[in-house]
Amino acid sequence: MTYVEGFLIPCPAANKAAYIAHAEQMAAVFTDCGATRMVQTWGDDVPDGKLNDLKQAVQATADEAILFSWMEFPDRAARDAAVARSSELPRPAEVPFARDRMIIAGFEMISDIGTGGAPGFIDAVILPVPTDGKQAYLDFAKRIAVPFIEQGATRVADAWGVAVPEGKVTDYHRATLRKADESVVYSWIEWPSRQVRDAGWEKLMKDERLNPGPDRPFDGKRMIFGGFTPIVDTGA
pLDDT of residue 92: 73
pLDDT (mean) for 154-174: 98
DSSP code of 177? T
pLDDT of residue 221: 95
- Kindly report the average pLDDT of the chain as a whole number: 96
Q: What residue ranges do the domains of the chain occupy? A: 3-233
What CA–CA distance (Å, rounded) separates 134 from 30?
Answer: 30
Q: Is the pTM higher than 0.85?
A: yes
pLDDT for residue 88 is more than 90: no
pLDDT digits (tens, 9 = 90+) for 184-230: 999 999 999 999 999 999 999 999 988 877 788 999 999 999 999 99
What CA–CA distance (Å, rounded) separates 85 from 30?
Answer: 9
pLDDT (mean) for 48-76: 98
Name the β-bridge partners of 64.
12
pLDDT (mean) for 119-124: 97
CATH number of 3-233: 3.30.70.100
Q: Given pLDDT bands bounded at 50, 70 and 90, which one contains residue 14? A: very high
